[in-house]
Amino acid sequence: MENLTFKSRTQAKKETGFSYLGKVNLSGKFIKNKKVNYYTYAIYLAPASTSGFNVCKYSTPECRIGCLSSSGRAKIEEYVNRNIIKNARIKKTKLFHTNNKYFMDMLVAELIAAQNKAKRDGFGFSVRLNGTSDIDWTKVYHNGKTVFELFPDVQFYDYTKNPNMFGVTLPKNYQLTFSYSGRNLDATLKILKMGYNVAVIFENENFPEFWHGYKVINGDLTDYRPFDEKNVIVGLKYKKLANKQINIDMINSCFVVVDMLNIPFKIKVD
């Protein structure tokens, strides 16, 4: 696909072998965003280095094993030994790296169509580009501009494990939530002290009132993070994967907070 030139979304489907880069209401968690009157377009790439290109620089062994790339419809495919979704995500990730111009042309076309549909349906429009990746999109340019500049009236948001994305100037229409991995506690506490939000995975929906002195909110009510309170813990319930043994291993790992572990106080750390 290195030598392809984007012409239209219809042509792209024939040339690339996948139907779309991203989609509105791609999963149940994004459908929940309709509660706050938003459609959300999201992209799921092949996580970490599974495509041969690393799109998750700060991933850990636990998050690579427990990645949401093996949940939802992808989980169903694993049960029946199919790889259609997995292979499509690999193709998309390779396209991003080997023919970024084509990828970005296709992305812009899809965003315009999705934004227009949201307007027609009476919804606001938001975008989460890193559904299963952790790319720094502030450094990805298309015809000299970032996607945030190309769509200044669109709300973008993401989760990231990249600590360098905090304490710096981001585009006004880009909101980030830091992700606790179980191995980045120092960075987590530093970022919380700076006033940002951090997502933490808990074993079940019975979230504690506080975690390391910071208020915990229910991040599973919607996926739309820009409306969250500031300087809080975004509690997320662990989402089970296709492999039962992996679920057991994940629950017993540092990635998932179990039975109020690591919650020793209700006073903020200095």
- Quick: pLDDT tens for 126-158: 999 999 999 999 999 999 999 999 999 999 999
Alpha-carbon distance of 63 to 148, in angstroms, equals: 27
Give the chain's mean pLDDT. Answer: 90
- Quick: pLDDT tens for 48-97: 999 999 999 999 999 888 776 555 454 444 544 557 888 999 999 999 99
Q: Minimal CA–CA distance to 107: which of 23, 173, 226?
A: 23
Alpha-carbon distance of 114 to 123, in angstroms, equals: 11
pLDDT at 82: 56
Count of beta carbons in the 10 Å neighbourhood of residue 72: 16
Please give the backbone phi and psi of residue 199, each rounded to the nearest 5 degrees, phi first: -90, 135
pLDDT at 80: 44
- What one-character DSSP code corresponds to residue 227? G
Contact 59, 134 (CB under 8 A): yes
Do the strands 22-24 and 38-43 form a parallel or antiparallel pair, or are they unpaired?
Answer: antiparallel
Three-point CA angle 132, 134, 138, nearest 5°: 130
Alpha-carbon distance of 111 to 124, in angstroms, equals: 13
